[in-house]
Amino acid sequence: MKIENLVEEVKIIAKNAGVAIMDIYTDADLSKVVDYKADDSPLTLADEAADKVIKKGLEELSVQYPILSEEGKKMSYEERKDWNTFWLVDPLDGTKEFIKKNGQFTVNIALIKDHFTMMGVIYVPATDTFYYGSELGAFKEEGGEKTELKVNNKNTDRIAVRSASHASPEEDELLAKYDVKDSISKGSSLKFCMVAEGKADIYYRHGPTMEWDTGAGQAILEAAGGKVYKGNEEKERFNYNKENLLNGSFLCLGF
């Protein structure tokens, strides 16, 4: 399947998942049902509903790859270590934002090949907005309009995007090195999108995330001309299907 066709198919799947999420989000009773995983991260009915929609959609595609999802079956490294290409899915990224009812949550679907992002789709159900990226470029679709995304490439007076739910002193120290003059706050994978569309220039995350939190966002940002590095230095490109799915720090630059 051509990459442009695959992107369109995945956009449909992501939107269907978004519909399932919004059905619960707008239900006063169902949206309040929150469970907690072993790591104390929240789990809603919407997480589970979206995962079912995405799994079914991906399994019905003419091209078949394994699926690694936050809400799917937990897999050992032995089971996935030889995967060449696979889907990396976060059915509802920003569960805390979902619970807060601020609309800053997303559906994330990425295609990983040889440990690196190949394609990514992020859908924002609350605003019916798409961000997606591949070798064909990065784009945003909102209100019937499609816009190509390009990073800012600013040299001075940069803007940082920071987490709405997480922050650290280490982030302050690093941002000071990059002539950051202002910052904005966003939840979920929207932080990657802010850099990709030039509303921010840098995003540094010091605390832990999981691979499914970053795959789609990295694909979009890189397709827009940005970079995503391991740690806090501009050295090694961020990669996937590690033995431990827990991410370390990462640095996103739009210049």
- Which residue positions form the known binding site for substrate? 70, 92-95, 213
Write out the binding residues.
70, 90, 92-95, 213
Write out the binding residues for Mg(2+).
70, 90, 92-93, 213
Sheet strands (E) in the chain? 34-36, 42-44, 67-69, 85-93, 106-113, 116-124, 129-134, 137-142, 145-148, 158-163, 180-186, 202-205, 209-210, 227-230, 246-247, 250-253
Which 3 state secondary structure label does DSSP give 176? helix
Distances (CA, A) of 2 to 119, 132, 134, 136, 162: 12, 15, 11, 11, 35
Q: What whole-number distance in Å separates Cα of residue 112 and Cα of residue 194?
A: 22
Burial class of residue 133 in the structure, from the number of CB atoms within 10 Å of its CB (0-12 exposed, 13-18 middle, 19+ buried): buried
Q: Which residues pair with 147 in a beta bridge?
A: 140
Question: Is the distance from CB of 182 to CB of 159 less than 8 angstroms?
Answer: yes
Q: What whole-number distance in Å separates Cα of residue 11 and Cα of residue 107?
A: 10
